Amino acid sequence: MPKILVSDKLGEEGVSLLRSYGDVDVKTGLSPEELISIIGDYEALVVRSETRVSSDVIEAGIKLQVIGRAGVGVDNIDLQAATHKGIAVVNAPTGNTIAAAEHTVAMMMALARNIPQANESLHKGEWTRSAFTGIELRNRVLGVIGLGKVGIEVARRAIGLDMQVTGYDPFVPEEYASSLGIELKALDDIYKDSDFICLHTPLTESTRGLIGEKQIAMMKPTVRILNVARGELIDEYALAEAVDKGQVAGAALDVFTTEPPVDSPLFNNPKIITTPHLGASTEEAQAQVAIEVAEQVITVLSGKSARYTLNAPLVLPEGQATLSPYISPAIYAGKIATQLTKGQLKKINIKYEGEIANHDTNILKAACLVGFLDQISQERVNLVNANLLASQRGLNITEQKATSIEQYSSLITVEVESSAGKTIVSTSHIRDETHIVRVNDYWIDLVATSGYMLFTDHHDRPGMIGALGTITGKHDINIAFMEVGRLEPRGRATMIVGLDDPMPQEALTEINDLPDVISTSVVEI
């Protein structure tokens, strides 16, 4: 019978399930030294966020087969060290989905009917019914920004309340959204048309400040805004000012830029409802998280592949020498393609050409999807769960193979078809490095590095490179490298500029205003 250590407080439902399979010890509050001294006796370790599972702990866990995280985030677990030691790391990403969705709906209802304000007034001995006249949700337009697990569950409940649900998520196919009763719209249209707007996106550089002064200016003065996702998605000062001025009818927030919030402008207006990050705080969610992680741990201990494993599987021995070097190029291809894609996603096609096409390419498909989903998923994406997450989003994915390719031993190409056209990115493995060799119609040769890259679509004219360099220099942005591709002299061209620093919006605007620039995109890799 395997020995299982639970080192953080875990719902009894999860502990009981673990005890049905193994010998369980619950020892909370262990110091790092105490944990290291005993972990060698256990096949499984289950933690929440309190226990830090360092490389030293993992090194001492000579019998460890699996580490279970009761929750989503695994920042407290050295994932790389666990992978190196062949230890599976599993989590419980769906246990709080319903809780977060229901909290969003509860906040929306409270906002619509002024429930917290009315309760406070009544407790003061007042009876001022007319001051708290609300609105009905029926026939109101709810704009859901981000159609992951929580966003979809919110949409389902809103449809049940006879609301008109619109959504924005460029990485959800229109057919899939329509099957759920959600009308996809452009982001600006969500801002302009919605009576309620709720946010359910991960926090990335592209989503930070998703709602600010500019976006609020597009909205109806009757709009009400909800955030149960990440505080940084909203400019809190801009929102508070808009509510004060009557540009926004109200807001309900469960998350904040700084937690706990100190001297927040959101606390000064009775039309803004706040809760202390309670989205996942239900008895059922805590129980479900405990059960979910226990099930994953038992699955691994049984010698099976768990659904929510967070570290990479091994490549089959017969294909390891050929496929392993192409995992990184595949990730880069997906990561660049998703950030260059504009419009509403329709289809993803992955091409494997050359030697790699002679093998089972499932690992490369997963790698492409890791890169593609990394910027848009609220969950940690890895080689194991990428296919599952893609399936849950309803992504339309096709694959092609060709065993011969000119110039390269192997080539991976990600083609993304959207309402705005087609985006193509090809990568390869050359001299032990990942090379970007094609972007749309342009064949190039660029070594992939970390940092930021500026992609331009422009007309090939004298002085273009100098003009761009002048702007980056003016804004103290250091250029690491530059690659130019063109179809013909003085024709259509692309420029890829490696940057040591993020590109501020002001500088990007100046580049877009250059006479020969057609469009630009900044990619973070």
Instruction: Cite the active site residues.
Output: 230, 259, 277
Distance CA 33, CA 56 (A): 10
Distances (CA, A) of 514 to 219, 342, 400, 465, 471: 31, 21, 39, 11, 10
Distance CA 319, CA 271 (A): 61
Which residue carries 């389902």 as its tokens?
156
Q: Which two tokens stand for residue 438?
A: 């094609």
DSSP codes, 184-234 = E--HHHHHHH-SEEEE-----TTTTTSBSHHHHHHS-TT-EEEESS-GGGB
Distance CA 451, CA 439 (A): 18
Distances (CA, A) of 359 to 298, 327, 340: 32, 13, 29
Which residue carries 């103290």 as its tokens?
476
Distance CA 517, CA 383 (A): 37
Q: Which two tokens stand for residue 56?
A: 């030293």
- Please say whether the beta carbons of 368 and 414 come within 8 A: yes
- Please say whether the beta carbons of 110 and 328 come within 8 A: no
Instruction: Tell me the one-letter amino acid at 14.
Output: G
Residues 6+ apart with CB under 8 A from 220: 192, 193, 194, 195
- Please say whether the beta carbons of 19 and 1 come within 8 A: no
CB atoms within 10 A of CB 114: 19
Q: Which two tokens stand for residue 440?
A: 């749309």
Sheet holding 250-253, edge to edge: 183-184, 164-168, 141-145, 196-199, 224-227, 250-253, 272-274
Distance CA 106, CA 436 (A): 48
Q: From the DSSP assignment, how many helices (H) and strands (E) are in the chain?
A: 18, 22
| CA-angle at 395, arms to 389 and 401, nearest 5° | 100
Question: What is the C-alpha R_g of the chain?
Answer: 25
Alpha helices in 268-360 (DSSP H): 283-301, 317-323, 327-340
Q: Which burial class, exposed, middle or buried, applies to 148 when counting CB atoms under 10 A from its CB (0-12, 13-18, 19+)? A: buried
Closest C-alpha among 445, 354, 359, 355 to residue 405:
354
